[in-house]
Structure 1
Amino acid sequence: MTSNLKIQLKPTRIIDLPILFQFQLDEESGYLAAFMPEDVTDEEAYLSKYTKLLSNSTVNHQTIWFENNIVGSVSKFIIHEDNEITYWIDKKYWGKGIATHALKLFLASEIERPIFGRVVFDNFRSQKVLEKCGFLKVGSDRGFANARQK
């Protein structure tokens, strides 16, 4: 892991969405994310959902670029009147510090606070990313996760 990563965040464009869709097809990634759509293979539904989100003024959706490649995304959205963040890194780029670096860049420009991040109880890497970015555990809850079917 290095702090000299050449990471860029760029507003997500519709043409980025097919690449981001491919990342979420990885089974291990989906399991760790846990809260996935019922049918992760439905590209039409994915593209429709995210195309609408790109025009939603309450959503800040950024594509993460590393070495001139799209490697993930980071977003702020509102759920139950709370600002929340979510991020996704292509599995090929795990362990390089990209998630932490990208989230720090994102939080420096996304000024709405408070902002929350949710992570499944056994996704220790993502918990570590949130901690490195200043998040504190403030609670826990339970919910059904399609990717785990429980």
Structure 2
Amino acid sequence: MLQRIETERLFMRPYNVADISAVQNLADDKAIAETTFIPYPYTAEKVEEWINSHSELIKNGDVYPLAVVLKNENQLIGTMTIRIDKIHNKGELAYWIGKDYWGKGFATEMAKAMLAFGFNELDLNRIWAPVMKKNIASAKVMQKIGLTYEGTLKEDVLRWGSYEDVEVYGILKKNYIQ
């Protein structure tokens, strides 16, 4: 069972019910919801339901939704998730960071660690990430960690009455190792 993934400034660990209010306070932000697939408003009830689903998902090796915590302050700042497609041996990367923590390199740091986990621990062949086209910061994170742009899914998601293009980024294990 996955316990913890550490980086220089962060650690990632499974969520627990004590995290509900911190997640709700960080993620119930329209600025985050506008460029991610997070529900808005993000009520404490929705967060609790989400967190309660995790232990089974992790135990089954289907999804690893991890709390991202600043080591020095023991402060939860966001989420990093990898969803596993066992049939095709690939993982989908997804994350969000609280607005107060944007622009500090945390997303890049934790995404690099999740790539290492996906390729080295889970032995995936491919890791990919969908990014709303308007989420330029996330696209830059994907490029910094070695994922390459693979294409655009035109009007792929309906968000608040408007269709949004989604860019796909990906990397193969053989390219990651190089």
Q: Where on the TM-score scale, by shorter chain, does this alignment land: which range?
A: 0.7 to 0.9
What SS class does the counterpart of residue 86 from structure 1 fall into? Answer: strand
1:129-144 alignment, distance < 5 Å: 129-141=141-153, 142-144=155-157
- Residue by residue over 1:18-68, the C-alpha shift from the partner in whole angstroms, topping out at 9 and shown as x without a partner, is 3223222111111111x233x533331332133113321211122111132
Query: Aligned residue for 2:98?
Result: 90
Q: Tell me the distance in 2 between the aligned counterparts of 1:12 and 1:25.
A: 17
1:23-38 alignment, distance < 5 Å: 23-33=26-36, 35-37=37-39
Residue 104 in structure 1 maps to residue 112 in structure 2:
yes
Q: Tell me the distance in 2 between the aligned counterparts of 1:145 and 1:54.
A: 30
Residue 145 in structure 1 maps to residue 158 in structure 2:
yes
Asked if structure 1 preserves the Cα contact closer than 8 Å seen for 2:24 and 2:43, the reply is: no
Deviation of 1:15 after TM superposition, in Å, equals 2.2
Deviation of 1:117 after TM superposition, in Å, equals 0.5
Structure with more of its chain in strand, by fraction = 2
RMSD over aligned Cα, in angstroms? 2.2
The number of aligned residues is: 144
Taking a change above 3 Å as real, the CA distance of residues 101 and 41 of structure 1, as seen in their structure-2 partners, is: closer
Determine which of 71, 75, 90 is the counterpart of 1:69. 75
Taking a change above 3 Å as real, the CA distance of residues 41 and 108 of structure 1, as seen in their structure-2 partners, is: closer
**Unaligned stretches of 5+ in structure 2?**
1-6, 163-178
The residue identity in structure 2 corresponding to 1:139 is G
Structure 1: 4+ residue segments shifted above 6 A: none
The alignment's TM-score, normalised by the length of structure 1, stands at: 0.83
Query: Aligned residue for 1:11?
Result: 14
Q: Which has the larger radius of gyration?
A: 2
Asked if structure 2 preserves the Cα contact closer than 8 Å seen for 1:36 and 1:145, the reply is: no
Taking a change above 3 Å as real, the CA distance of residues 93 and 5 of structure 1, as seen in their structure-2 partners, is: farther
The alignment's TM-score, normalised by the length of structure 2, stands at: 0.71
The residue identity in structure 1 corresponding to 2:22 is I
Q: Tell me the distance in 1 between the aligned counterparts of 2:46 and 2:11.
A: 27
Deviation of 1:136 after TM superposition, in Å, equals 0.9
Q: Tell me the distance in 2 between the aligned counterparts of 1:28 and 1:104.
A: 24
Asked if structure 2 preserves the Cα contact closer than 8 Å seen for 1:86 and 1:117, the reply is: yes
- Residue by residue over 1:81-128, the C-alpha shift from the partner in whole angstroms, topping out at 9 and shown as x without a partner, is 652111111100100000000111121122223111110001110000
